[in-house]
A and B are shown apart, each in its own frame.
Chain A
């Protein structure tokens, strides 16, 4: 396995996890498409997740116990799998958010000093 590729996905995975957890924390239980739409909307079209990225990410979060997936029905009467934030997921979100803020603060200082 080429290591560079692996590293890139790792970063992406971490950010994706944070984004998904935050979305669920803000809007409550959502199905996969709703999560993708929300991220699309918030990023003004800059972040278009394809299924091959989104769903393995959701499965990983589920395997780690951060979200729980359950089949339900949309307001339009369509069967869809809804994802809910678990207590563990909420805790993970808090710590990841803190870590993210710390990281961005460092980055800002670093970039500002250099610029």
Chain B
């Protein structure tokens, strides 16, 4: 083995010309020959005879040299080197052809590389924070409508209390760990940009379950969960850098945190550790972790948190859920009818983007296929032009295998260069994608807004390996057809054909049928892409054209964090009123308002429901209308239309008759056939009536793609309900004359004047909140449209190429026809017929394919069906026209043929 390796290495050196030279070998052979001749002379031969005898005895030097060269190096490597050199020389001879091929392949390979890098990072790579991420599961419960509190089927993550967790852990064999992981929102006192930190409340078991190790300090243990334990906190690497300048003495420091959700409280926490950078648990937005129980008011023994479990080794999901379901039903006292399922944490994180990523993967596959077909077609045409060269090589003794290898080497070289260029394109593509996918990272806009694992996307070793493999396979794929077509020819026939004698008509017909079939495939694939892109585009236009029920332009929104100790709930209203009054005085501000929430903010507050009769004992029913606590000018600032009655006015202050507004949906639902204005209604358990004084238009509260829901509006000044007034802080909105961003400095000054410790945060134009919620459809639309554009362009180039080649080939025939009196229109029709036929077949096949494929877009479409006839028709028409234009240009050139020149051309 060692000997064989040594020989191989030396032969490798030999190939690289690092061992004996040809001259050295020749000298040795010459010596041998001379010695043999001398011997012959000694035996009495004449000098002439001696030379002959010697040659006879020792054999030819040329053959010996050939054998020595083969032995010196590795013959296949030598061949490869020759093929490579030949390929590069051929490329240099026709740089235009090479450039077209390389660019085409670069587009195809670049697109697949970019999407592969996303798929790899988002769907395939295990989660970075745990080596066991594929065993981490969440329990999901499906409630049928009959037992659901909302009256509609509900699918939600199962939550458990600390006692229930202990119970489940001791009874389950399928789970080797159970804990809870739930979101928590906290503000870091005194840090403006840290007013809304996203964190996680976790049970102590969770960290040992996922085997998390801190960068500094320690993680939680069960002592931290004990009642009365000192409150502790772990912070993320990013938070440590951003708010504490990576202070190495951060451990044991005390942080003062304000609750940012629910009743406002302030508590002090001791930092016990910093987690490493890759610890994106449960997401990369998580900035701190605190023990579950100790941080919930009242010790939290009965409070439930979303469950996270770890499957025991060798347990399947089915087996686990069969065991856990009944246990959970028993300990949670769940109603019968509820079913349970397990969801891998890894799958859950990406569930929302997975279908779209798969669609994009198929789309880039199509793009690459179209690019391949284009290149295969180009190579075929080129091989036809190089027939003579190939025939000569064949006649000189190059074997069929050798010729095929040569052609494949050329196409693989082209594909590899294309792959390198494609990788550069992919870098750009990934940057674009990250730009498109980056949105405001705000938990109040909902967790579904951000693109999961976005920061993990990049070009790493695995992606490069994929690109290299794709390039080689692509190179082989595009080379195979031309290689086998031209290497199989009988050299004599090829030589005759190349010399200009008529090639066998069958061969010509066959070649043109082949190229025609390739064009049909291209058009069909491009059609599918275009229909898909067209559907998404139509859907996106519909989505962004939706009337949200308010006017986001010129509106700036923000929140203000106030020190909890100096601002109990009662003073918040005063501050908000003062600030709103101050804002109205800012030049450029038309109106200013505040509210408990804004459109697009994902907070649902029913305030106990709206009823026609009073009832002190009623329990708030879920699914009631959405309650809005707004300041007087809110409707004006947001541009919400009052369609009947009146809006709020200066007269509706505290102590005045209580009035409220309902939206059109609520009016229609609760007061069918009657006029709601003037009616008395009751909010929750409040025994005193409110009078409806106006109806406002519907607002798409929870997203442009979500239908409006019943809503009612109450003037904050008249509100005296219990519970936190602004559960996630008051939202302010100002309507500016021009660009809303320009009033920010003035607003900052006003806020500071009111209270030097007040912190402005979440500043964003209302339009940005809206675009953030449609960032993902926008990204998918743009990406798929780009891919469809590339695919269609390549396909059109493909038609053009084939038609142009056809015209060139038939110049002589056209010349004869014209000499015999054919009119231009006839010639045009003759050439065009082929292009039109191919286009129509391609589009027809593409339409069938699209009809089958677009249902995978179902979940990505808004206000349009996957079989939208108008999109199908428009795309067919447009693409058909462009494709026919591509065959018209060469056809027109055919009519310009001068019969004399054409006949002379051969």
Residues of A within 8 A of B (CB): 31-33, 36-37, 48, 50-56, 59-60, 63-65, 78-81, 88, 92
Subset of 7 A-B contacts with CB under 8 Å: A33-B32, A36-B58, A50-B59, A50-B64, A55-B25, A55-B29, A56-B70
Are A51 and B32 interface neighbours, CB within 8 A? yes
Chain B residues with CB under 8 A of A59: 68, 71-72
Give, as a whole number of angstroms, the nearest-CB distance from A39 to chain B. 13
Contact of A56 with B71 in the complex, beta carbons under 8 Å: yes
Asked if B720 is at the interface (CB within 8 A of a chain A CB), the reply is no
Nearest chain-A residue to B25 (Cβ)? A55
A51–B64 contact, CB under 8 A? yes
Interface centre among A31, A36, A50 (most CB of B within 10 A): A50
Contact B31 A63 (CB under 8 A): no
A52 cross-chain contacts in B, Cβ below 8 A: 59-60, 63-64, 66-67
The smallest beta-carbon distance between B827 and chain A, in angstroms, is 54
Q: How far is the CA of A52 from the CA of B25 in the complex (A)?
A: 12
Instruction: Assess whether A80 is in contact with B67, with CB atoms less than 8 Å apart.
Output: no
Q: Determine the distance from Cα of A59 to Cα of B14 in the docked complex, in whole angstroms.
A: 11
Name the distance in Å between A88's Cβ and chain B's nearest Cβ.
8
Among B11, B35, B36, find the residue whose CB has the most chain A CB atoms closer than 10 A. B35
B57 CB-CB contact with A under 8 Å: yes
**Closest residue on chain B to residue A81 by CB atoms:** B28
Q: Collect the chain B residues with CB atoms within 8 Å of residue A63's CB.
A: 6-7, 10-11, 14, 71
- Of the four ranges (under 10, 10 to 19, 20 to 34, 35 or more), the interface on chain B belongs to 20 to 34
- Chain B residue, CB-CB nearest to A80: B31
Q: Cβ of B66: which chain A residues have Cβ within 8 Å of it?
A: 52
Instruction: Give CA–CA (A59, B61) in the complex, Å.
Output: 16
Please determine whether A64 and B59 come into contact, CB atoms closer than 8 angstroms: no
Residue of A nearest to B6 (CB): A65
Please name all residues of chain A whose beta carbon is closer than 8 Å to the beta carbon of B28 when the two chains form the complex. Answer: 32, 55, 80-81
Q: Within 8 Å of chain A (Cβ to Cβ): is B649?
A: no
Chain B positions within 8 Å of A, measured between CB atoms, are 3, 6-7, 10-11, 14, 25, 27-29, 31-36, 39, 57-61, 63-64, 66-68, 70-72
Distance in Å: Cβ of A47 to nearest Cβ of chain B: 12
- Main secondary structure, interface of B, reads helix
Closest Cβ of chain B: how far from A110's Cβ, in Å?
Answer: 30
Complex Cα distance, B32 from A36, in Å, reads 9
Contact in complex: A78, B68 (CB < 8 Å): no
A51 and B58 contact, Cβ closer than 8 Å, known pairs A56-B71, A59-B68, A63-B7: yes
Interface of A is mostly: helix
Please report the C-alpha to C-alpha distance between residue A37 and residue B39 in the assembled complex, in whole angstroms. 10
Which residues of A have CB within 8 Å of B59? 50-53
Given contacts A65-B3, A65-B6, is CB(A32)–CB(B32) below 8 Å?
A: yes
Task: Compute how far the CA of A52 lies from the CA of B11 in the bound complex, rounded to whole angstroms.
Answer: 18
In the complex, the chain A residue whose C-beta lies closest to that of B27 is A79
How far is B8's CA from A64's CA once the two chains are assembled, in angstroms?
Answer: 9
Q: Who on chain B is nearest to A50 by CB?
A: B59
B7–A60 touching, CB < 8 Å: yes
Question: Does A79 contact B31, Cβ atoms closer than 8 Å?
Answer: yes
Instruction: List chain B residues, Cβ under 8 A from A50.
Output: 57-59, 64
Chain B CB within 10 Å, residue with most, of A63, A64, A92: A63
In Å, the complex CA distance between A64 and B28 comes to 20
Residue picked from A32, A51, A79, A80, most chain B C-beta under 10 Å? A51
CA distance A75 to B6 in the complex (A): 34
Instruction: Output the least CB separation between A27 and chain B (Å).
Output: 16
Residue from the list B27, B61, B68 in contact with A56, Cβ < 8 A:
B68
Report how far A48 CA is from B61 CA in the complex, Å: 16
Bound-complex Cα distance A31 to B32 (A): 9
Report whether B6 and A56 are in contact in the complex, using a CB–CB cutoff of 8 Å: no
Given the complex, which residues of B lie within 8 Å of A78, measured CB to CB?
A: 31, 34-35
B35, B63, B71: which contacts A60 (Cβ < 8 A)? B71
Residue of B nearest to A51 (CB): B64
Q: How far is the CB of B425 from chain A (nearest CB, A)?
A: 43
- Closest CB-CB distance, B732 to chain A, in whole Å? 83
Q: Which of A31, A56, A92 contacts B31 (CB 8 A)?
A: A31
Q: Specify the chain A residue showing the minimal Cβ separation from B60.
A: A52
Q: Beyond the given A32-B32, A55-B68, A64-B6, please list 13 additional residue pairs across the A-B interface where CB-CB is below 8 A.
A: A32-B28, A32-B31, A51-B59, A51-B64, A52-B66, A53-B59, A55-B28, A55-B64, A56-B67, A59-B72, A60-B7, A60-B71, A63-B10
With A and B bound together, what is the CA distance between A31 and B28 in angstroms? 9
- The CA-CA distance from A54 to B31 in the complex, in Å, is 14
In Å, the complex CA distance between A37 and B57 comes to: 11
Closest to B34 in A: A78
A51 contacts which chain B residues (CB < 8 A)?
A: 29, 32-33, 58-61, 64
- A31, A53, A55, A88 pick with most chain B CB within 10 angstroms: A55
- Taking CB as reference atom, which chain B residue is nearest A62? B10
A88 and B71 alpha carbons, distance in the complex (Å): 20
Inter-chain contacts of A81 with B (CB < 8 A): 28, 31
B31 and A33: CB pair below 8 A? Answer: yes
Interface centre among A59, A79, A80 (most CB of B within 10 A): A59
Residues of B within 8 A of A65 (CB): 3, 6
Chain A residues near B71 (CB-CB < 8 A): 56, 59-60, 63
Complex CA distance for A7 and B36, rounded to whole angstroms: 30
Which chain B residue lies CB-closest to A52? B64
Q: Which residue of A lies closest to B57 (CB)?
A: A48
| Nearest chain B CB to A89 CB, angstrom units | 11
Residue in A33, A79, A92 whose Cβ sees the most chain B Cβ within 10 Å: A33
With a cutoff of 8 Å between Cβ atoms, the chain B residues found around residue A37 in the complex are 39
- Compute how far the CA of A55 lies from the CA of B64 in the bound complex, rounded to whole angstroms: 8
The answer for the CA separation of A111 and B7 in the assembled complex, in Å, is 36
A72 to B570 CA separation, bound complex (whole angstroms): 108
A residues near B72, Cβ cutoff 8 Å = 59
List the B side residues contacting A31 at CB < 8 Å: 31
Closest-CB distance, A60 to chain B (whole angstroms) = 6
Q: How far is the CA of A50 from the CA of B6 in the complex (A)?
A: 26
The 3 A-B residue pairs with the shortest CB-CB distance in the complex, in nearest-first order:
A50-B59, A51-B64, A52-B64
Q: Which residue of B lies closest to A34 (CB)?
A: B35
Q: Could you say which residues of chain A place their CB within 8 Å of the CB of B27?
A: 79
> How far in angstroms is the closest Cβ of chain B from A92?
8
User: Which of chain A's residues has its CB closest to B20's CB?
Assistant: A59
Chain B residue numbers with a CB within 8 Å of A55 are 25, 28-29, 32, 64, 67-68
List the B side residues contacting A48 at CB < 8 Å: 57
User: What residues on B are CB-neighbors of A32 within 8 Å?
Assistant: 28, 31-32
| CA A31 to CA B33, docked complex, whole Å | 12
Question: Which residues of chain B have C-beta atoms less than 8 A from A64's C-beta?
Answer: 3, 6-7
Q: Please, how many angstroms separate the alpha-carbon atoms of A59 and B3 in the complex?
A: 14
Residues of B within 8 A of A60 (CB): 7, 71
Nearest chain B CB to A83's CB is how many angstroms away?
11
> In the complex, what's the smallest C-beta–C-beta distance from A21 to chain B, in angstroms?
13
Q: How far is the CA of A92 from the CA of B4 in the complex (A)?
A: 13
> In chain B, what residue has the closest Cβ to A33?
B35
Nearest A residue (CB) for B32: A33
Shortest Cβ distance from residue B635 to the other chain A in the assembled complex, whole angstroms: 89
Complex Cα spacing A36 to B11, Å = 25
Give B504 Cβ to nearest chain A Cβ, in Å: 33
Q: A55 CA to B25 CA in the complex, in Å?
A: 9
In this complex, which of B61, B64, B66, B72 has the most chain A Cβ atoms within 10 angstroms of its Cβ? B64
Considering the chains assembled together, what is the distance between the CA atoms of A53 and B63 in angstroms?
10
CA distance A80 to B33 in the complex (A): 12
Complex: how many Å from CA A33 to CA B36? Answer: 8
A81 to B60, CA, bound (A): 19
A32→B68 CA distance, assembly (Å): 14
B13 closest partner in A (C-beta): A63
Set of chain B residues within 8 Å of A88, measured between Cβ atoms: 3
- Cα distance A88–B64 in the bound complex, in angstroms: 27
B31 neighbours in A (Cβ, 8 Å) = 31-33, 78-81
